[in-house]
Amino acid sequence: MKLLIVESPGKIKKLQSILPAEWRVAASVGHIRDLPQEAYGLEPPDFRPVYQITPEKKDVVARLRTLAAEADEVYLASDPDREGEAIAWHLKDVLGLSACKRVTYTAITKDDVEAGIAAPRDIDMALVHAQEARRALDRLVGYKVSGPLSRACSESRLSAGRVQSPAVRIVVDREQEIRSFVSTTHYGVELTFDRVENVSEGWNAVWLPREGWLDEDNPYVLDKAVADRVAAVRSLDVLAFEEKEAATAPPAPFTTSSLQQAAGNALKFTPKKTMELAQKLYEAGHITYMRTDSPNLSETAIAEIRAYADAQGLPLPPAPRTWKSKDGAQEAHEAIRPTHIDVEEAGENADEQALYALIRLRALASQLADAVFAVRVARLGADVDGRQAIFEARGRTLVHPGWKQVMAADAADDEDAEPSNSVPLLKEGATAVVQQGTVSTKKTKPKPRYKQTTLIREMERRGIGRPATYAAILDNIIVQKAYLREEKGWLVPTPRGEAIVAAMQPVFSFMNLDFTKRLEDALDDVAGGKTSYADCVGLAYDTLMAELATFREKTAVPCPACGNRDTFYHNVNPERGWNYWKCKECNASFEDDGGRPGSRKEKKEIPLSEFDCLACGSAKLRRIAGTKNGAAYDFFKCSDDNCGATFNAVDGRPVPREEPTLSEFACKQCGKPLAVKPTRKGGIYFSCTGYPKCKQRYWAKDDNSPDYDNPPK
């Protein structure tokens, strides 16, 4: 048997239908392991990641191990990007594959899959290290900054992100620009002509006050009386006239980013929905891989599209088209396109079909001839108050539709088309008679708020993050964290979004938009083998630690009892009615006084019971009862802290607790013996006997040994 391991279970059916009978296709369901959830997992100076199999993937890993053991050959076919390369390496390491073959393909078609399998290679460790560096940098910022940020903003569960926080800042900056914007009222003039020497009527010209009437210090016409006098002219001289043809090239095929923007504008899909639909189209074999920075198609695809267009009678340019990629683009594979250009409809539902049509028409149009317009531009002048007022009339008529035969407009640009204006054929020196002059009152407007699509465009322009991550980032900062909200499609920062930006921006380099781009360039250097993982992460770590010390000094509140800044925090939870200060170091609690620690909360004294301690006999027991997390507890504890013995409460009386059953295993955390404890479902788990100093627990594996790699949360 030959085993092909892919990421998504959605690919299995299609791939199994392509491959011969001796092949078996299985899925890892994404990553099988990650940095630990309950610990940092990265320690200087080398920052070597400590990985754990994620709890929900234990069964997946067990099944893959069984299949790999039965297979004669194992092929790792995770996605053709850095993330996919890292997944392949994790699979090789966890499954203990001494020999395996890494294969990639950008479309799930018979030809592409067979070509990929026929050209296996080794795992590219430079790409793996680049993914590890990205993950490490994300963990570094999130793990080190989120706690101090929450304390600084007096709100629990806030998070900082290497890419998400700059994205929030972009929206916050725009909102602040809008709030501080002061509108200016100014005036413009448009003339409508009824005839030009009896040739035509119904065309327009607009006044160009910047030519001779305004300067940089006074960019607007503020006096309506001046505009009224300009609008009163009824005869103008034709100063110049130009008639020419202008060609407009088609837009490039879709990259990940431009697909998200176009689907948002044309189909009103969120970036997250767009990527989910594209994933399904890719898994079904309808489109090529949908995570790409390249705007160019393969030579084979171009040849197929040109042949199809020629057969359909569509206009073609003399040579195939290519496009210049944006700086920093990762061009491991071609632009997004249909796998078969002659298939006009594909997809399981209306949304998939609409997205497929968008992708197909964009790819087809990209190889067609230019759209050609006949353009007429006239400059006209008249004397007003002893100065010449210049007007311009511009008209454009489509004469050869070219690519516009299949695609009306570039849906990614979200711009209004140029208005129609039937400018007649004019001669210099002729006279144009005005039918009507209109003064328009205008007000300057601030730049608009961002939409999801325009925020993606801005992030891409600034080099923040990667297009493949944009959908997840926006979902996180809008839906999960609520740093932004949508109002009629526009993004508006929430108070907590503005608070985190205000707290972090003055201190942390990762909030600097240029710094974020430079860090992306450093990750590219790791992928290209130009720098090492440790150097990339180490430099960022040193910078962050220095900035974090400054941040804590500026924002952290010291505990009034012990002075510790790192363990003293403001515990606010409106749902539970909590609003107090607590120190994890000395366990002191304080009332809140306007966002600062107030008077100390005295610990509630539990009265002594009538029973003597069964362990030391020299002190009374306290009966402790209540609920925690919905579960009731009731036990006795010795009032002498040096003893601290505890006993079960049975019928209101203290009863010695049963000694735990010790196992042969030791705690990986502190080295003390592990006790065997029963679970609610009749199984067992292991608990460290070093409690309360060590609270480590472990699930039991099938052979009743502790699962050190996957401790419970």
Residues that are catalytic: 289
Contact status, residue 442 vs residue 306, Cβ threshold 8 Å: no
Q: Which of 84, 42, 162 is nearest to 459 (CA)?
A: 162
Q: Which residues contact 692 (CB under 8 A, 6 or more apart)?
A: none
- From the number of C-beta atoms within 10 Å of its C-beta (0-12, 13-18, 19+), residue 525 rates as middle
Give phi and psi for 24, each to the nearest 5: -125, 130
**Taking CA 184 as the corner, what is the angle to CA 182 and CA 185, rounded to the nearest 5 degrees?**
145
CA atoms within 13 A on the CB side of 303: 3
The answer to whether 384 and 213 are in contact (CB under 8 A) is no
DSSP 692-712: TT---EEEB-TTSSB-TTS--
Q: How far, rounded to the nearest angstrom, does the alpha carbon of residue 280 sit from its chain's CA centroid?
A: 19
| DSSP character string of 95-106 | TT-SS-EE---S
Q: Give the type of residue at 250.
A: P
As beta bridge partners, residue 191 has 205, 437
| Sign of the Cα pseudo-torsion (674, 676, 678, 681, in order) | positive
How many Cα atoms are found within 13 Å in the side-chain-facing hemisphere of 263?
29
Are 228 and 266 in contact by the 8 Å Cβ rule? The answer is no
| Dist CA 10 CA 94 (whole Å) | 23
Residue 333 contacts residue 292 (beta carbons within 8 Å): yes
CB 645 within 8 A of CB 613: yes
* In 279-404, beta strands by DSSP E: 371-384, 387-400
Compute the distance between CA of residue 177 and CA of residue 186 in angstroms, rounded to an integer: 21
674 Cβ neighbours under 8 A, 6+ residues apart = 662, 663, 665, 666, 667, 686, 687, 688, 689, 698, 706
**Rounded alpha-carbon distances, angstroms, from residue 622 to 76, 583, 604, 616, 628:** 61, 25, 13, 14, 18
Residue whose token pair is 């503020």: 222
In contact, 341 and 308? CB cutoff 8 Å: yes
Q: Under a CB-based contact definition with an 8 Å cutoff, are residues 491 and 484 in contact? A: yes
- Start-to-end CA span in the chain (Å): 38
Q: Give every CB contact of residue 703 below 8 A, 6+ residues apart in sequence.
A: none
Kindly write down the DSSP assignment for every residue of 479-535, as one continuous string. IIS-SEEEETTEEEE-HHHHHHHHHHTTT-GGGSHHHHHHHHHHHHHHHTTSS-HHH
CB-CB neighbours of 397 under 10 Å: 12
State yes or no: cis peptide before 692, omega within 30 of 0: yes
